[in-house]
């Protein structure tokens, strides 16, 4: 059967096709190849139902709409979907509490509606004016590359990173298969701590480094690195590759 969203998309397509049910069925199947395609009778009954009852659903029974038999009413299901649309970050636990339902029931409904929980990606925090500055830099860089095809190849790209003893541990993807719980542990937050400051650079298709910087990096020690260590790295690069730096 079909969800509320499916029926809504069908009727929107029906309007675009000027009330032609056969054309609507074909266009719907082409537009949504992963969905179950409706026949002309489904579309005609949908139009008749909306005109006479104002409802997209065949009955008030959720099972007849193709949703899992769960005890939710159409109004409850629509309220859950509306809440998710307004607040995508809401948890299934909160939805279940608000609708006096179970977490598993809410979860089945969301999965049926093809809604899946996607994790956030952490990115660098920027100030409001940083975005325009970045766009301006990218446009300038592309303009320089268009003027000089070797411009980017003559840029020395560098970065530093600090590696600690604890490292990065992904609790979600790290596991151990066993018939009984092995109570595996991974020590971290050690009393004795250490870290490594690592520098590396890229010039064209060549990698410079990596180089271990002093543990306590200062402006003076970094200047020594630039004047003494970096120049040694560049000595190993052909002169033609560094002339445009």
Same-domain pairing of 199 and 141: yes
| pLDDT, tens digit (0-9, with 9 covering 90-100), for 144-157 | 999 998 888 888 99
Domain, as residue range, for 51: 4-61
Same-domain pairing of 234 and 146: yes
Other CB atoms within 10 A of residue 21 CB: 20
| pLDDT, tens digit (0-9, with 9 covering 90-100), for 155-185 | 899 999 988 887 776 666 676 666 677 888 8
Burial class (CB in 10 A: 0-12, 13-18, 19+), 89: exposed
Give the C-alpha distances (Å, rounded to integers) separating 49 from 7, 42, 65, 84, 227.
11, 10, 14, 26, 79
Q: pTM of the prediction?
A: 0.47
Is position 151 within any domain?
A: yes
Cα 165 to the chain's mean position, in Å? 29
pLDDT at 60: 45
Same-domain pairing of 137 and 234: yes
Radius of gyration (C-alpha) of the chain in whole angstroms:
30
Same-domain pairing of 55 and 156: no
Same-domain pairing of 138 and 202: yes
Same-domain pairing of 139 and 202: yes
Average pLDDT over residues 207-235: 88
| pLDDT, tens digit (0-9, with 9 covering 90-100), for 35-92 | 888 888 889 889 988 888 788 877 544 444 445 445 677 778 878 888 888 888 889 8
Give the full edge-to-edge strand order of the sheet including 195-203. 156-164, 195-203, 206-213
Supply 157's token pair. 């790209």
Which pLDDT band, with edges at 50, 70 and 90, does 129 fall under? Answer: very high
Q: Of 47, 53, 78, 54, which is closest to residue 65 (Cα–Cα)?
A: 78
Is position 24 within any domain?
A: yes
Give the phi and the psi of residue 61 in degrees, each rounded to 5: -90, 120
Q: Considering 35, 61, 87, which residue would you say is the last residue of a domain?
A: 61
Is position 123 within any domain?
A: no
State the average pLDDT for the chain.
83
pLDDT at 199: 94
Is position 37 within any domain?
A: yes
Separation between Cα atoms, residue 160 and residue 137, nearest integer Å: 21
Same-domain pairing of 200 and 231: yes
In this predicted structure, the answer to whether residue 30 has a pLDDT above a threshold of 60 is yes
Separation between Cα atoms, residue 44 and residue 39, nearest integer Å: 9
**Half-sphere exposure of residue 151: CA atoms within 13 angstroms, side-chain side:** 10
pLDDT at 63: 44
Same-domain pairing of 91 and 154: no
Same-domain pairing of 134 and 108: no
pLDDT at 105: 87
Q: How many domains does the chain have?
A: 3
Same-domain pairing of 37 and 107: no
Same-domain pairing of 145 and 225: yes
The span from the first CA to the last CA of the chain, in angstroms, equals 64
Q: Considering 85, 113, 141, which residue would you say is the last residue of a domain?
A: 113
């Amino acid at each position: 059967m079909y969800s509320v969203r499916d029926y809504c998309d069908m009727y929107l397509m029906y309007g675009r096709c000027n009330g032609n049910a056969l054309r609507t069925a074909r266009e719907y199947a082409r537009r949504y190849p992963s969905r179950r395609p409706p026949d002309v009778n489904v579309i005609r009954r949908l139009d008749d139902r909306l005109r006479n009852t104002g409802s997209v659903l065949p009955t008030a029974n959720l099972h007849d709409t193709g949703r899992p038999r769960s005890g939710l009413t159409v109004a409850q299901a629509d309220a859950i979907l509306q809440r998710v649309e307004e607040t995508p970050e809401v948890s299934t636990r909160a939805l279940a509490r608000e609708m006096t339902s179970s977490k598993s029931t809410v979860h089945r409904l969301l999965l049926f509606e093809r809604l899946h929980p996607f994790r956030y990606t952490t990115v660098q925090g920027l100030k409001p004016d940083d975005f325009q500055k970045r766009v301006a830099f990218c446009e300038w860089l592309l303009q320089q590359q268009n003027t000089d095809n070797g411009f980017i190849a003559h840029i020395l790209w560098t970065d530093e990173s600090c590696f600690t003893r604890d490292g990065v541990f992904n609790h979600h993807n790290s596991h151990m298969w066993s018939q009984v719980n092995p109570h595996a542990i991974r020590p971290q937050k050690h009393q004795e701590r250490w870290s490594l400051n690592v520098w590396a650079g890229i010039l064209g298709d060549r990698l410079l480094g990596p180089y271990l910087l002093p543990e306590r990096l200062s402006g003076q020690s970094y200047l020594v690195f630039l004047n003494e260590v970096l120049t040694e790295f560049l000595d190993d690069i052909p002169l033609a590759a560094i002339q445009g730096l």
